[in-house]
């Protein structure tokens, strides 16, 4: 199978390329080599076409391609509202141009990187009102150290619950909004072209080669970098925020399985959560990294950002049933290894 892989020089893209080639697939790579992700002095891999999907024609790269694996994106939550145009241009306009090129060249199968951020805070259960989305966290609660959201109906206590792919979108950041839009563009393209797409909603991805020092680095990389500097990881809120950390090896394997099976999926877009199926708190993750590296114990700062998601945990059942995907690396093992894994320092 001939695969066009966008973002081929990136953190996840490099792992996908390695696993796809190990299964005897041909990979045609492209990457914009943006300075924000790779640094200003990066030496591009000559085997990867240097193209920017926002502006460059990629029809020639699509010649003879069976399926596209679209990983290229600006990642992270964003710093503030001034990031909105950049996310829209890099993630949404670029995706729209890629889909238009696929329509011109007759490629009808797509695997696209999405994210659990499309769910925002997901869903909760209220003793009085049942299944509810969380209310926006109140400033007075946050300042008083009450970090869990309230019920939007009665204002009472709610508890997080595992969510599946039918959970409504509730984007909270620039990045989240752009990922929702990417899925919508892909779904519209499927309708217009009679095409097939699989959107993989990654949970918190970590592992060797992840970027260490950009404003858009994930929390695992931020903690890992602090430990390497001899500093204690600084954990926001009370450290009890619940997440699912999934190793990049497993994320790449989910992509290869999706690439091999998207042609057998029905017309339209199918979404799958890509998760380890094991919950971890942010505080537990920081402590695991610190212990493995022999560093100082994490510091709970009590600091908060109103837009941060408190808890989000999704069911891995659909990916197991629809793709045959189950994560192989448990977070407690993979996160301990992350303490000494090489990171990309640009």
pTM, whole model, 2 decimals?
0.94
Residue 343: predicted pLDDT: 82
Q: Which residue has the higher pLDDT, 41 or 310?
A: 310
**Alpha helix positions (H), 135-281:** 139-143, 174-193, 219-228, 248-261
In sequence order, the 6+-apart residues with CB closer than 8 A to the CB of 155 are 135
Whether residue 61 is predicted with pLDDT greater than 60 in this model: the reply is yes
Residue 36, pLDDT above cutoff 80: no
Residue pair 30/10 in contact by the 8 Å Cβ criterion: no
Q: Which residues contact 154 (CB under 8 A, 6 or more apart)?
A: 126, 128, 129
- Residues 6 or more apart whose CB falls under 8 angstroms from that of 42 comprise 33, 35, 346
For the chain, where are the E strands, in sequence order? 2-6, 26-31, 48-50, 67-70, 109-115, 124-126, 130-132, 158-160, 196-202, 204-206, 234-235, 242-247, 268-274, 279-281, 299-300
Q: Please state the rounded mean pLDDT for residues 18-37.
A: 93
Under a CB-based contact definition with an 8 Å cutoff, are residues 276 and 204 in contact? no
pLDDT in tens, 201-259: 999 999 998 887 665 567 888 898 888 889 999 999 999 999 999 999 999 999 999 99
Residue 122's pLDDT is: 87
Determine whether 278 is exposed, middle or buried from the number of CB atoms within 10 Å of its CB (0-12, 13-18, 19+). middle
Taking the C-alpha atoms of residue 322 and residue 319, their distance in angstroms, rounded to an integer, is 5
Please give the mean pLDDT across all residues of the chain.
93
How far, CA to CA in Å, does 236 sit from each of 7, 97, 281, 334? Answer: 31, 38, 12, 22
Specify whether the backbone of 57 is left (phi greater than 0), alpha (psi in -120 to 50) or beta: beta
Q: Specify the pLDDT at position 224.
A: 87
CB 154 within 8 A of CB 307: no
Higher pLDDT, 220 or 10: 10
pLDDT at residue 214, as a whole number: 61
- C-alpha–C-alpha distance, residues 21 and 29, integer Å: 12
Q: Which of 35-39, 113-117, 317-321 has the lowest mean pLDDT?
A: 35-39
The model's confidence at residue 158, banded by pLDDT at 50, 70 and 90, is: very high
Q: What is the pLDDT of residue 305?
A: 87
Averaged pLDDT, 76-104: 91
pLDDT band at 78 (very low <50, low <70, confident <90, very high): low
* Edge-first strand listing for the sheet containing 279-281: 204-206, 242-247, 279-281
Q: Provide the pLDDT for residue 308.
A: 87
Please state, for a pLDDT cut of 90, what percent of the chain lies above it. 80
Chain segment 269-302, per-residue pLDDT in tens: 999 999 999 999 999 999 999 999 998 999 999 9
Specify the pLDDT at position 28: 98
SS3 15: helix
**Six-digit token string for 297:** 């114990």
Quick one: how far is CA 174 from the chain centroid?
A: 13
Share of the chain above pLDDT 70, in %: 97
| DSSP-derived pairing of the beta strands 299-300 and 234-235 | parallel
* Contact predicate 52/98, CB 8 Å: no
Top-confidence residue, 308 or 147: 147
């Amino acid at each position: 199978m001939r695969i066009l892989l966008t973002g081929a020089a990136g953190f996840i893209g490099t792992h996908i390329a390695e696993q796809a080639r190990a299964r005897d697939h041909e990979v045609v790579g492209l990457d914009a080599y943006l300075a924000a992700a790779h640094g200003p002095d990066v030496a591009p891999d000559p085997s990867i076409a240097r193209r920017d999907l926002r502006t460059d024609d990629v029809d020639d790269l699509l010649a003879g391609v069976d399926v596209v694996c679209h990983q290229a994106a600006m990642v992270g939550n964003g710093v503030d509202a001034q990031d909105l145009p950049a996310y829209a241009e890099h993630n949404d306009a670029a995706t729209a141009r890629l889909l238009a090129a696929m329509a011109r060249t007759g490629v009808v199968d797509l695997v696209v990187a999405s994210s659990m951020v499309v769910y925002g805070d997901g869903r909760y259960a209220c003793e009085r009102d049942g299944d509810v989305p969380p209310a926006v966290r109140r400033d007075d609660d946050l300042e008083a150290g009450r970090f869990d959201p309230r019920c939007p109906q009665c204002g009472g206590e709610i508890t997080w619950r595992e969510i599946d792919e039918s959970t409504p979108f509730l984007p909270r950041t620039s990045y989240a909004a752009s990922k929702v839009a990417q899925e919508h563009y892909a779904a519209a393209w499927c309708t217009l072209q009679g095409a097939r797409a699989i959107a993989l909603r990654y949970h918190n991805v970590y592992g060797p080669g992840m970027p260490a020092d950009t404003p858009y680095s994930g929390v695992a990389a931020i903690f890992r970098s602090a430990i390497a500097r001899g500093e204690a990881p600084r954990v926001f809120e009370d450290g009890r925020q619940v997440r699912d950390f999934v190793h990049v090896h497993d994320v790449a394997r989910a992509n290869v399985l999706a690439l091999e099976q998207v042609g057998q999926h029905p017309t339209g877009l199918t979404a799958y959560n890509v998760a380890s199926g094991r919950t971890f708190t942010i505080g537990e993750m920081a402590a695991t990294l610190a212990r493995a590296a022999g560093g100082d114990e994490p510091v709970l700062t009590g600091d908060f950002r109103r837009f941060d998601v408190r808890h989000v945990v999704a069911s891995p059942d659909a990916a197991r049933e629809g793709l045959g995907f189950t994560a192989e690396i448990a977070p407690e093992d993979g996160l301990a290894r992350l303490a000494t894994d090489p990171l990309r320092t640009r």
